[in-house]
Amino acid sequence: MRKKIVAGNWKMNMTYDEGQKLTSEIVNMYKDEAIQDVAVVLNPPFPHIHPVKKLVGDTAGIYVGAQNCSDKEAGAFTGEVSAKILASFGVNYVILGHSERREYFKESNELLAAKVKQAIANGLTPIFCCGESLEIRTAGTHESNVKFQLTASLFDLSPEDFSKVVIAYEPIWAIGTGKTATADQAQEMHAALRRHIASKYGKEIANETSILYGGSANPGNAKELFSKPDVDGGLIGGASLKSRDFIDIVKSF
Ligand code: PEP
């Protein structure tokens, strides 16, 4: 059975104290409310990783992720953080290919392919984001667009390595806009992605791949989104900064 995952993307938010408070609240609620069978991944900015990891401790089901990693192994790359360094701090996941990184930092499909390889080589699970702009959706080429993003950055992987990847479908027009894709739109795209994975890696691997939805998910719409057969959880931005909202999303399966 594929994993249910809810990952919080803090983006460039949270001071040290705010991050500690948010993490403690999430850990306590997760334990007190006896949440089971849903992996929670907290993806704070880099400086938070170590202290967040300490607060999470050995809480079963809660993991720490990063929002990016370098495509290089090591060396003179000022300001970069390698997958190897992240792994040495106990990081388990890394978000790659987020639309904000594609747009503002001009990350290409080729660069992302190299980052994915670094992540996997160092034991990190990539949460690989794909999604279309409003322009592409309006033109009706959204399905071919996301399929191409997968092909270009992931389909060089061996079946064994591909099995380590989590996909996040994030329509750009729904990120941070308050405009969520309908559950039917999400299901349609997740099913198309799963078929595309099956065409390359076979049905078994496709059925085991967790595909998360991201884009203005909140406690009010998560239940309907998560009820769809190909939606295996969420990548949550804004609502991951409020412990109650985030945990309510985690409890929406
Ligand atoms: C995101 O940035 O990955 C995201 C889904 O953001 P939001 O939930 O705020 O739309």
Which helix H or strand E contains 65, and what residues bound it? strand 62-66
Which helix H or strand E contains 196, and what residues bound it? helix 183-201
- Which of these, 179, 161, 162, lies nearest to 170 by C-alpha position? 179
What pLDDT does 25 receive? Answer: 98
Does ligand 1 lie within 6 Å of residue 216's CB atom?
Answer: yes
Note the pLDDT tens digit of each residue in 39-58.
999 999 999 999 999 999 99
Burial of 88 (0-12, 13-18, 19+ CB in 10 A): exposed
Note the pLDDT tens digit of each residue in 138-150.
999 999 999 999 9
Residue 228 corresponds to which tokens in the numbers above?
A: 């769809």
CB 163 within 8 A of CB 208: yes
Q: Say which CATH number the domain at 150 has.
A: 3.20.20.70
Instruction: Using CA atoms of 169, 172, 176, 178 in order, give the dihedral in degrees to the nearest 10.
Output: -90
* Nearest-atom index, ligand 1, CA of 236: 8
Backbone angles phi, psi at 99, to 5 degrees: -60, -30
Q: Which domain holds residue 211?
A: 4-250
| Catalytic residue ranges | 98, 170
Does ligand 1 lie within 6 Å of residue 180's CB atom?
Answer: no
Atom 4 of ligand 1, nearest CA residue: 237
- The secondary structure of 71-131 as a DSSP string is SSSSSS-TT---HHHHHHTT--EEEES-HHHHHHS---HHHHHHHHHHHHHTT-EEEEEE-
Low-confidence ranges of the chain (pLDDT < 70): none
* Nearest-atom index, ligand 1, CA of 217: 8
Q: Model's pTM, two decimal places?
A: 0.98
* Nearest-angstrom CA–CA distance, 115 and 92: 15
What pLDDT does 62 receive? Answer: 98
Does ligand 1 lie within 6 Å of residue 71's CB atom?
Answer: no
What is the total count of domains within the chain? Answer: 1
Does ligand 1 lie within 6 Å of residue 217's CB atom?
Answer: yes
Residue 184 corresponds to which tokens in the numbers above?
A: 């039917």
* Nearest-atom index, ligand 1, CA of 174: 10
Does ligand 1 lie within 6 Å of residue 235's CB atom?
Answer: yes
What pLDDT does 54 receive? Answer: 98
Atom 2 of ligand 1, nearest CA residue: 237
